[in-house]
Structure 1
């Protein structure tokens, strides 16, 4: 059995950079396992459309 999580996107990501824009990504953690989306360079409204699978114990 597994859990599927879809990361669609984000809007208005805060920009902590003094010069340029952030390079956002999303991190998912579940039962000690960690997954990460692709980095979206300079995009404060990133669209990932990525799906991750976690195995259930």
Structure 2
């Protein structure tokens, strides 16, 4: 086994140009999933608060 194979790690892939489209696609996919999840959560919670018949009083 050569010395270059021993020193290879997965973080060296970040510097290679051929993997850039993969990393961009992976990042945008994760970002899109989180954005969709949070938007759906806000819609559900706001509809639950608006649709509730009881009045919420936050003061003591």
> TM-score per shorter chain, which class?
under 0.3
Give the helix-richer structure, 1 or 2.
2
The answer to which structure, 1 or 2, has the higher relative contact order (CA under 8 A, 6+ apart) is 1
- Structure with greater Cα Rg: 2
TM-score for both structures, normalised by structure 1: 0.17
Give the strand-richer structure, 1 or 2.
1
TM-score for both structures, normalised by structure 2: 0.17
